[in-house]
């Protein structure tokens, strides 16, 4: 233990022996090394201060950038950005379905030609004529009324002298034939008993055949005068002249377009068991409209005179006028069976598209002066409004009417993988075209290049100005452009003169 303490004391003595001379030497030479140490210390303090200053400046720049970029998005430019309140979005029509991501899609390039709604020749109009001469005793319809097949239109009192004579001759022959049949029955009974010879009976048989031939020719004459088989049969049954004749709405076969005229038949108004069990219902497309009324009650009409004109508006034509240079494109559209669109002007701000129409045929004649030809497109129609008055009169309003002007969009070429936007999404100023991209609560204006534009759509070049997936305002681009210009012009401060 004593040896250990002795060794430790010797270590302290040696340390003091070394440090004391070194300290005396450093003190005596401080003029040589002290300035270098002081310079190194000041340099280190300066570097630490500069680092702290840089950190403070960086923090200040971050804060300033945060204040400038409200939404925290890169590329935000206040001069080309517009902030909209929820109310402003509604005012310009930017509902949820009007701000959606764009995507690549196919685009059909079209040509636009003017068109007008016209009737289908030979099908739309049905002219009702007087089947025979007479006086109108009853008119059961009004002009503009909707009527269904089998509906009674007019009642005529027959006054034609030839018609009366033809009926009289027919009745006379019927009577003579009845007499001849009775005579044959009597002679047959007598001949069987051997009272008279069979030659007499044979002569009466010949006379009967002669009357039957005359009756057949007279029947055909009545049919030519305008009577129906049912009416002639009625004369046979009642043995009375027909004094009145009813004219009915014809039956239109929707598939073939064949019109059957029931106005030659006598209708008995009675509810049979079959009609009670299976009532006949007709779709609205089977209705006719009384387009024009040509007679009034008490008028005298000749056979063949027009009583009224009915119109079936269930199927019309769109008649377009195309230039002769467009004939090949229209023919290709028919070969490819591409559907055609029609544009209907609903009002000054709204247009209605009628899709999936089909070209029926192209006219084979070109007008000499205008150098155009007609294009006929099928236009199925539908009832837009239907009403029945208290007196039972039925009136309908068809959606499409002859004389309406429209435009036809005929496809001529299909482009794949294009950025397609509605024209309402494009704002134009001079040679520049812009769209507005949603950026948080702002809309940023982006310049774009339009490859093709028609009345409905615009094809945007995929050059990096916008990308698929960007949310673009599909409406109100013009209003957004005007608001951005007003903002750049320095509008009046809404808070001026107020203290908060």
115 lies in some domain: no
Q: Are residues 430 and 403 in the same domain?
A: no
Residue 454, domain CATH: 2.40.420.20
Task: State yes or no: pLDDT of 413 exceeds 90.
Answer: no
| Domain finish residue from 412, 427, 458 | 412
For residue 70, what pLDDT is reported? 39
pLDDT digits (tens, 9 = 90+) for 218-233: 888 888 877 778 888 8
For residue 272, what pLDDT is reported? 36
257's enclosing H/E stretch is none
Q: Are residues 150 and 215 in the same domain?
A: yes
264's enclosing H/E stretch is none
For residue 132, what pLDDT is reported? 82
For residue 379, what pLDDT is reported? 95
Residue among 106, 125, 160, 152 at smallest CA distance from 263? 152
Task: State yes or no: pLDDT of 466 exceeds 80.
Answer: yes
For residue 4, what pLDDT is reported? 58
Q: Are residues 204 and 323 in the same domain?
A: no
What backbone phi and psi angles, to 5 degrees, belong to 126?
-130, 120
Q: Are residues 196 and 258 in the same domain?
A: yes
Categorize the per-residue pLDDT at 364 as very low, low, confident or very high, splitting at 50, 70 and 90: very high
Q: Are residues 164 and 259 in the same domain?
A: yes
pLDDT higher at 442 or 58: 442
For residue 326, what pLDDT is reported? 92
**Average pLDDT over the chain, rounded to an integer:** 79
pLDDT digits (tens, 9 = 90+) for 378-399: 999 999 888 888 888 899 999 9
Angle, helix 198-225 to helix 229-238, in steps of 10 degrees: 130
| Domain finish residue from 356, 385, 412 | 412
Task: State yes or no: pLDDT of 46 exceeds 60.
Answer: no
Q: Are residues 305 and 323 in the same domain?
A: no
d(CA 85, CA 442): 9
Percent of the chain with pLDDT over 70: 73
Asked if 211 and 173 touch (Cβ cutoff 8 Å), the reply is: yes
30 lies in some domain: no
64 lies in some domain: no
Mean pLDDT of 189-207: 73
Q: Are residues 87 and 186 in the same domain?
A: no
Task: State yes or no: pLDDT of 28 exceeds 70.
Answer: no
Mean pLDDT of 459-477: 90
What backbone phi and psi angles, to 5 degrees, belong to 315?
-145, 120
Asked if 379 and 117 touch (Cβ cutoff 8 Å), the reply is: yes
For residue 269, what pLDDT is reported? 31
Task: State yes or no: pLDDT of 161 exceeds 60.
Answer: yes
Asked if 112 and 408 touch (Cβ cutoff 8 Å), the reply is: yes
Q: Are residues 424 and 407 in the same domain?
A: no
50 lies in some domain: no
Q: What's the whole-model pTM score?
A: 0.61
Residue-number span of the structural domain to which 468 is assigned = 81-107+415-488
For residue 292, what pLDDT is reported? 93
Q: Are residues 421 and 390 in the same domain?
A: no
Which 3 state secondary structure label does DSSP give 141? coil
pLDDT digits (tens, 9 = 90+) for 115-138: 999 999 988 999 999 888 889 999
Task: State yes or no: pLDDT of 498 exceeds 50.
Answer: no
Q: Are residues 190 and 97 in the same domain?
A: no
211 lies in some domain: yes
Which 3 state secondary structure label does DSSP give 321? strand
Mean pLDDT of 45-72: 47
For residue 153, what pLDDT is reported? 92
Categorize the per-residue pLDDT at 32 as very low, low, confident or very high, splitting at 50, 70 and 90: low
Categorize the per-residue pLDDT at 459 as very low, low, confident or very high, splitting at 50, 70 and 90: very high
| Buried/exposed code over 296-311 (b: 16+ C-beta within 10 A; e: otherwise) | eeebebeeeeebbbbb
- The torsion region of residue 266 among left (phi > 0), alpha (psi -120 to 50) and beta comes to beta
Task: State yes or no: pLDDT of 86 exceeds 50.
Answer: yes
| Buried/exposed code over 60-97 (b: 16+ C-beta within 10 A; e: otherwise) | eeeeeeeeebeeeeeebeeebbbebeeeebeebebeee
Residue among 437, 439, 441, 446 at smallest CA distance from 83? 441
Mean pLDDT of 281-291: 68
Task: State yes or no: pLDDT of 495 exceeds 90.
Answer: no
Q: Are residues 419 and 408 in the same domain?
A: no
d(CA 460, CA 418): 7
Categorize the per-residue pLDDT at 63 as very low, low, confident or very high, splitting at 50, 70 and 90: very low
41 lies in some domain: no
Mean pLDDT of 199-221: 86
Residue 353, domain CATH: 2.40.30
Residue among 125, 430, 139, 99 at smallest CA distance from 250? 125
Q: Are residues 151 and 238 in the same domain?
A: yes
DSSP secondary structure string, 29-86?
THHHHHHHHHHHHHHHHHHHHHHHHHHHHHHHHHHHHHHH-TT--TT--GGGEEE--H
Angle, helix 198-225 to helix 161-192, in steps of 10 degrees: 160
**Structural domains counted in the chain:** 3
201 lies in some domain: yes
Task: State yes or no: pLDDT of 450 exceeds 90.
Answer: yes
278 lies in some domain: no
For residue 442, what pLDDT is reported? 86
pLDDT digits (tens, 9 = 90+) for 320-351: 999 999 999 999 999 999 999 999 987 776 78
Mean pLDDT of 414-428: 91
Task: State yes or no: pLDDT of 114 exceeds 90.
Answer: yes
pLDDT higher at 288 or 228: 288
User: Residue for token digits 């494109």?
Assistant: 329
For residue 342, what pLDDT is reported? 94
Task: State yes or no: pLDDT of 299 exceeds 90.
Answer: yes
| Domain finish residue from 276, 310, 344 | 310
């Amino acid at each position: 233990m004593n040896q250990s303490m002795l060794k430790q004391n010797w270590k302290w003595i040696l340390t003091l022996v070394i440090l004391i001379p070194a300290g005396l030497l450093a003190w005596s030479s401080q003029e040589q090394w002290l300035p270098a140490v002081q310079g190194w210390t000041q340099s280190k303090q300066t570097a630490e201060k500069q680092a702290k200053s840089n950190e403070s400046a960086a923090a200040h720049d971050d804060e300033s950038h945060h204040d400038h970029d409200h939404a925290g998005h890169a590329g935000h430019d206040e001069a080309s950005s517009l902030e909209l309140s929820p109310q402003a979005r509604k005012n310009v029509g930017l509902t949820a379905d009007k701000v959606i991501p764009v995507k690549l899609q196919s685009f059909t390039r079209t040509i636009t030609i003017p068109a007008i709604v016209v009737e289908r020749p030979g099908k739309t109009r049905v002219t009702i004529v007087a089947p025979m001469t007479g006086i109108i005793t009853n008119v059961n319809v009004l002009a503009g009324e909707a009527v269904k097949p089998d509906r009674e239109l007019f009642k005529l009192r027959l006054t034609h002298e030839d018609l009366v004579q033809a009926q009289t001759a027919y009745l006379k022959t019927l009577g003579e034939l009845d007499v001849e049949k009775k005579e044959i029955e009597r002679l047959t009974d007598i001949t069987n008993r051997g009272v008279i010879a069979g030659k007499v009976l044979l002569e009466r048989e010949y006379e009967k055949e002669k009357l039957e031939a005359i009756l057949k020719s007279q029947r055909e004459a009545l049919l030519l005068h305008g009577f129906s088989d049912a009416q002639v049969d009625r004369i046979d049954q009642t043995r009375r002249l027909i004094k009145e004749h009813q004219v009915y709405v014809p039956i239109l076969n929707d598939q073939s377009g064949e019109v059957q005229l029931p106005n030659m038949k006598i209708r008995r108004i009675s509810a049979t068991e079959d009609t009670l069990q299976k009532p006949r219902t007709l779709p609205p497309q089977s209705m006719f409209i009384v387009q024009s009324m040509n007679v009034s009650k008490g008028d005298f009409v000749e056979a063949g005179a027009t009583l009224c004109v009915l119109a079936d508006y269930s199927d019309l034509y769109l008649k377009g006028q195309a230039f002769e240079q467009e004939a090949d494109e229209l023919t290709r559209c028919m070969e490819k069976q591409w559907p055609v669109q029609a544009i209907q002007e609903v009002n000054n701000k709204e247009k209605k598209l009628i899709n999936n129409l089909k070209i029926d045929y192209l006219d084979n004649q070109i007008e000499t002066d205008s150098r155009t030809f007609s294009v006929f497109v099928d236009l199925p129609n539908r009832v837009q409004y239907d009403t029945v008055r208290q007196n039972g009169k039925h009136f309908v309003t068809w959606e499409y009417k002859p004389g309406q002007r429209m435009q036809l969009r005929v496809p001529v070429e299909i482009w794949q993988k294009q950025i397609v936007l509605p024209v309402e999404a494009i704002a134009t100023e001079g040679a520049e075209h812009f769209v507005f991209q949603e950026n948080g609560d702002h809309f940023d204006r982006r310049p774009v290049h339009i490859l093709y534009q028609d009345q409905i759509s615009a094809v945007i070049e995929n050059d990096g100005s916008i990308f698929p997936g960007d949310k673009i305002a599909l409406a109100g681009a013009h209003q957004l452009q005007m608001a951005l210009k007003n903002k750049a012009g320095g509008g009046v401060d809404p808070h001026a003169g107020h203290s908060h």
